[in-house]
Amino acid sequence: MTKKVIARRESSHYILTERILYAGGGHMSRRSYLVALFVIVLIPGCMGLPVREAVRVDLSVPVGKIEGNQFEGVRYPFRISAPPGWKITTEPPDFMESLGYGKEGLEESEVFVYHPSTQSNLQIDFVPAGRYSKFSQESIEWITEAAKGSFKEEVEKDYGTGVKVEYAPATPYTLRGVPYAARKYATYTLKGVKREQGWIYAFVEPYQIFILYMILEKEGSTEGAKDREELKKVLDSFEVFSKK
């Protein structure tokens, strides 16, 4: 059987920006911003010798297996668990597009963890790093922070400039088996529902990891605080393991 192989873009800035844009709806007008970032980052990244062999991903291999409340990857080496009341699936939940996530971006994610009632959710995407791409904690945090620009642009386009968005700074984040990771999130309110929408960008050789999450909290409800605690447990369960 002929293996199906996927080739992904070299620029980590480009991909992260693209993933955040899909979280906000991902309009075609994003192109000029993406091209600018792509040129700025890709040219320096291609200088010098390759730092790794080209990574090939066999798409004929299943994404992974779900047993009970735990997912273990086959295509990519990671596992993650869901707390009671939450679900894990390799298919996008039906409500995700109604929250503003673009269909194309959802189709790229490997696994979804979500609460069926509150619709708080998390999605994970692994992307092979380019042959020339180099990573450090400093660069990971810089890229994570830089994605704020595209996020702000899409929120204003979709919901107007009257929506007040507050941003937390990009900070280091700990994921098991991952040497470099950072998180940033934004909070805003739409129709009486507070949203915490965040992104975690990480790297473990030879993969970039993109984790997008959203916590929904209705006014006067304590469900958002509970979901935040549960989502922390989900992230604490995430682990990248060595392939045997």
Domain at 5-240, CATH homologous superfamily: Mog1/PsbP, alpha/beta/alpha sandwich (3.40.1000.10)
Nearest C-alpha neighbor of 110 from the set 69, 142, 62, 151: 62
Q: Centre a 10 Å sphere on the Cβ of residue 188 and count the other Cβ atoms it contains.
A: 16
Using the predicted structure, report yes or no on whether residue 14 has a pLDDT greater than 60: no
| Torsion angle, alpha carbons of 201, 207, 212, 213, to 10 | -100
- Amino acid present at 88: I
Residue 36: the pLDDT is 37
Spatial separation of the C-alpha atoms in residues 51 and 131, rounded to whole Å: 6
Stretch 67-85: mean pLDDT? 97
Q: What is the pLDDT of residue 104?
A: 83
- Sequence-separated (6 or more) residues with CB below 8 Å from residue 10: 42, 45, 46, 130, 131, 132, 133
Quote the pTM value.
0.84
Find the mean pLDDT for residues 96-117: 90
Helix (H, G, I), strand (E, B) or coil at 22: helix
* Percentage of the residues of the chain whose pLDDT score is greater than 90: 59
Span 171-219, pLDDT tens digits: 999 999 999 999 999 999 998 999 999 999 999 999 999 999 999 998 8
Q: List Cα–Cα distances, 132 to 9, 15, 97, 146, 175, in angstroms.
A: 11, 15, 34, 20, 24
Evaluate whether 26 touches 154 at the Cβ level (below 8 Å).
Answer: yes
Structure confidence at residue 15 (pLDDT): 53
Q: What is the mean pLDDT of residues 80-97?
A: 95
Has residue 77 got a pLDDT over 60? yes
Is the pLDDT at 62 greater than 90, yes or no? Answer: yes
- The residue extents of the domains of the chain are 5-240
